[in-house]
Amino acid sequence: MNERSVVRRGLLVALLLLVAGLAGCGLGEREHEAASAITQRLQSDLEGRSEVAGAEVIYQDNFTASRRADASVRIKAGADVAAVTDEVVRMIWASELEPLRSVTVTVWDEADNQRNETRRLDFEDPATKTELEGKYGPRPV
């Protein structure tokens, strides 16, 4: 066996290990369906609120976005941006969405884009976890 075929075989083995490792990333089908049901329920609950004009909640657990939830909420003119942002954070914290490492919540006024807030939270950060547990109690999962 020459040096070139040894290198090729080594590269092939490395590639196979990488593919096998990536295949283990992310959610299985059952977990994906559960996460989708939870995000749909969160989105529906948000859209049912009188101050909300529209909402989108997504969950990702894959190679590029690991264990993260994103909520985008458009509120009606003059609604309290900070209060809605707090409520969205509370709803996600209190949900059974898991595993969950990071959350981004963006809320903006449909009549005035200057009235907005984006909050990024790391649920694995001890200080953040302590703060949220103090406000909302422990996560259910």
Expressed as residue numbers, the domain containing 64 is 26-136
d(CA 26, CA 65): 9
Q: Is 101 among the domain residues?
A: yes
Residue 119 is part of a domain; what is its CATH number? 3.30.70.1350
Number of domains within the chain: 1
Per DSSP bridges, beta strands 102-109 and 52-60 are unpaired
Tens-binned pLDDT, residue by residue, of the chain (141 aa) = 666 666 666 555 555 554 444 444 456 888 889 999 999 999 999 999 999 999 999 999 998 889 999 999 999 999 999 999 999 999 999 999 999 999 999 999 999 999 999 999 999 999 999 999 999 999 999
Query: Do 114 and 78 touch, CB atoms closer than 8 A?
Result: no
pLDDT of residue 57: 98
pLDDT of residue 24: 45
- 58 HSE (CA, 13 A, CB side): 9
Six token digits for residue 36 = 């989708």
Q: Is 105 among the domain residues?
A: yes
Q: Is 47 among the domain residues?
A: yes
Q: Is 141 among the domain residues?
A: no
Six token digits for residue 113 = 């884009």
pLDDT of residue 63: 87
Instruction: State phi, psi for 40 to the nearest 5 degrees.
Output: -65, -40
DSSP 78: T
Instruction: Find the helix or strand (DSSP H, E) in which 24 lies.
Output: none
Q: Is 2 among the domain residues?
A: no
